[in-house]
Structure formats: structure tokens, C-alpha cells
Amino acid sequence: MTVGFVTNPNHAGHDVEGHPEGPQRLEAVLALLDECGLRNRLERIEPRDATDEELAWVHSPEFTDALRRTCADGGGWADPDTYLLPGSYAAALTAAGSTIAATDAVLSGRVDSAFCAVRPPGHHARPDQAMGFCLLNNIALAARAAQRRHGLERVAIVDIDVHHGNGTQDAFYDDPEVLYCSTHQYPFYPGTGQADEIGAGEAEGTNVNIALPAGCGDAEYRLAFQQVVEPVVRRFRPGLILVSCGFDAHYADPIGGMALSVDGYGELAQRLQALANDLCDGRLVFVLEGGYDHTAVGWGVRRILELLLGEEPAPDPQGPLGEGRTVNVEPVLAELGRRLDIP
């Protein structure tokens, strides 16, 4: 089983001291993978920049031109959370292009699956707006590459970041050929992602928001996958599954309020791998989004890569959160089941 891996050599140019979305996130991942020798067992995918033509698949030229100019002029703030520096546009361009490159590698058959360890993250980036630590929407661009370059009729995006990917939702809200399915904490930033946001026109029913209350952990996410994610993905029958993989739903994360463990992330990855094996010849691409506890991010990425390789996973040093914490998610899941006509 061949697993591709790509990272972003330009990411360190995007860095404000003390900001949670900094280079240390990715450095922790790469250090752990090198320490355990895992990176040597992966197929290296060459990072590259996204082209202007590719960016225009999702973002308006006016937006990308303004983003480029702002960074070239010294930077600033896209919103109170999202900084721009002289090196930020280059970092975002390589994150986006490298995600497309990994998708190309999977769809060309060079690798069976892939993980994109890139930053800055992307799922909050809207077609005309950078926000929520995100500059360019990496996973949305990958989905468009699958459609435009490889001719796929159906692409599924599963988002397991603690935050709703409003930018990804915006990009495909009226596109019936892309399924967007998000598990996220609600109410929480960015305030979108309610159950009644289901897509528009012919795309109605292809936008699925599993808005979970704070405190959900491994058991609750398992139920969400069993009762909603897996049935809607199977019904959609995609030719590729893309995963916005944020580790900020881990219980140790300083920003999120969820309670997933590394074991829980591993189970979700196994479920997604099983879906990909059943539906689309195993074609599966994970893309790093959030996650601000460096240990959880590093071990989360390691666990997913071990599972993709078919290896016995190493024990998680942080372990499970502990017994006795349960959240009743049945009302949320039952409402979605009725709304989406899930048997």
C-alpha cells in the first residue's frame, strides 16, 4: 500500500509570534514522523505552487490579487484572527498547490492515498475572503482539480475540524457534484453550519452539517459517522474522498471544546478508509486544517499515516480522556436523519 506525503517548505514565512497558528504546529508533526522513521516509509510528493488558473477555480482573481499585493506591501490583518506577512502569500500558494499535487498523485494512481501536512489551513477561506487563520481554500481547490483536471463526476469532502468549514461550504453550496459533510462544534466560530444549511437548487441535500454540542468525544463522533456521515457518503458514491482533518477537536486542544482522543481520530480515519475502499478504489486524501496542541497534532497525523500504511499503530502518549463523559447527540442525529431522508 503506497501512501503519499507532501508538506510545505515555505510555511515558516507565515509566522506571528504567539499566534496559535504558527510554524511550530507543522514542525511538531515533521519532527515526530522523522523521529519514528515513518516519513521514510511514505512516497514523497513534490510540493509546488498553485497556478493563477487553479486559484480561479475557487477564488476570484480580484481577491487573490489583493491578497498578493497586501503581502507584498508588508502585510496586515485580513480579520482580527488572520495575519498577513510578506511571506504569507507564498506559504498559502504552496499549501494550495501541494494539496492539488497530492490529489493528482492519488487520481493518477501513483499513490493509493495521501496526507497533506500543510499550513496555513484553508477551510474558512471563502471565494472572496481570507478568515479564521485561512488564506486560500486548499481542499476546495483539490476538489476542483478532481473535477476539472480528472473529470470526476462526484467528489466527497468530509470535514472533522472542530470548526465549521464555511469557506468550503460556500464554494460548493450550489454544486450537486460535491458532497460537503461536516462534523463540528456548534454554537462556535464561525457561527455557520446549522442543520438547515443543506445546499441550494439541484445541490439540495449535498451539504450536510452535523452541528454537535461541546464535549463530544470518541463515542459521540462514532455515532455521528455511523448514523449520518457513512450513509450520506455511501448514497453519494464519490470517486474520491477528501478529508479536512483538524485536530482541534482533541480534548487537549486549547481552542476547541470537544473531547476526541488520538484513538478516536484513528477510528474515524479507519471508517473513512473503509468508505474509500468500498466506493472509490481507496482514493483518499487527508489535508491538515486546525489543531493547536502540538502533541495531539503530531500524534494524530502519525496515527492516520500508520493506519493508511496498514501498520500497527503506536500507543498514544496522551491516552483517552477517561470514562464517564457522555453527551446526548441523538436529537441532532435524528433531526438530520429526517431532514436528509436517511433510512
Q: Could you give the CA distance from residue 280 to residue 305 in angstroms, rounded to a whole number?
A: 19
The set of catalytic residues is: 124
Distances (CA, A) of 153 to 59, 236, 286: 21, 11, 20
The pLDDT confidence band at residue 2, using thresholds 50, 70 and 90, is: very high
The whole-number pLDDT of residue 323 equals 67
**pLDDT tens digits, 40-68:** 999 999 999 999 999 999 999 999 999 99
The whole-number pLDDT of residue 324 equals 65
Say which amino acid occupies 318.
Q
The pLDDT confidence band at residue 321, using thresholds 50, 70 and 90, is: confident
Q: Give, for 288, the enclosing helix (H) or strand (E).
A: strand 284-288
Question: Average pLDDT for residues 230-256, to the nearest whole number?
Answer: 98
**pLDDT tens digits, 255-304:** 999 999 999 999 999 999 999 999 999 999 999 999 999 999 999 999 99
The pLDDT confidence band at residue 343, using thresholds 50, 70 and 90, is: confident
All residues at 6 or more sequence positions from 9 whose CB lies less than 8 Å from its CB, including other chains: 47, 94
Is the pLDDT at 136 greater than 70? The verdict is yes
* Bridge-based pairing state of the strands 178-185 and 76-79: unpaired
pTM: 0.98
Cell of 41: 516509509
Is the pLDDT at 327 greater than 70? The verdict is yes
The whole-number pLDDT of residue 1 equals 87
Cell of 80: 482580527
Cell of 187: 454554537
The whole-number pLDDT of residue 331 equals 96
**pLDDT tens digits, 30-42:** 999 999 999 999 9
Q: Could you give all domains of the chain from N- to C-terminal order, each with its CATH number?
A: 7-315+327-340 (3.40.800.20)
Is the pLDDT at 201 greater than 70? The verdict is yes
All residues at 6 or more sequence positions from 112 whose CB lies less than 8 Å from its CB, including other chains: 1, 2, 3, 106, 282, 283, 284, 308
Is the pLDDT at 326 greater than 90? The verdict is no
Q: Which residue has the cell 494550495?
A: 96
Taking residue 142's Cβ as centre, other Cβ atoms within 10 Å add up to 31
Q: What rounded mean pLDDT belongs to the chain?
A: 97
Q: Which residue has the cell 496522551?
A: 318
Say which amino acid occupies 273.
Q
Higher local confidence (pLDDT), 323 or 105 = 105
The whole-number pLDDT of residue 50 equals 98
Is the pLDDT at 325 greater than 90? The verdict is no
**pLDDT tens digits, 141-197:** 999 999 999 999 999 999 999 999 999 999 999 999 999 999 999 999 999 999 999
Is the pLDDT at 3 greater than 70? The verdict is yes
Q: Could you give the CA distance from residue 326 to residue 268 in angstroms, rounded to a whole number?
A: 18
Q: Which of 206, 76, 202, 59 is nearest to 136 (CA)?
A: 59
Is the pLDDT at 133 greater than 90? The verdict is yes
